[in-house]
Amino acid sequence: PAPRADRPRAALCAFNIEGVHASDLATMIDLDGVAIRSGHHCTQPLHRHLGVDASARASLYVYNSSHDVDAFIAALHKAVDLLGGTLTPTEPN
């Protein structure tokens, strides 16, 4: 769909999973063939302010398909289950 002023969009999402370090999460997801980033993403002051050591980041581009998104979601759920984390959905601000 076309962008709308009342519905912000972004091609990336930085996130944390309760009980799982971002680097461990990225490593486990990579084992399923899905690449995400982990670390500070050049935002160390923000991470300090939020009180987190690191974050994971998933990015999309024009060459990604809905299959890629489904593969990421499946790999994320598998990694969280294996690492003992908690997925807690939140509503956007």
Active-site residue list: 42
CA distance 10 to 60: 9
Helix then strand then coil, in percent of the chain rounded to 5, is 35, 20, 45
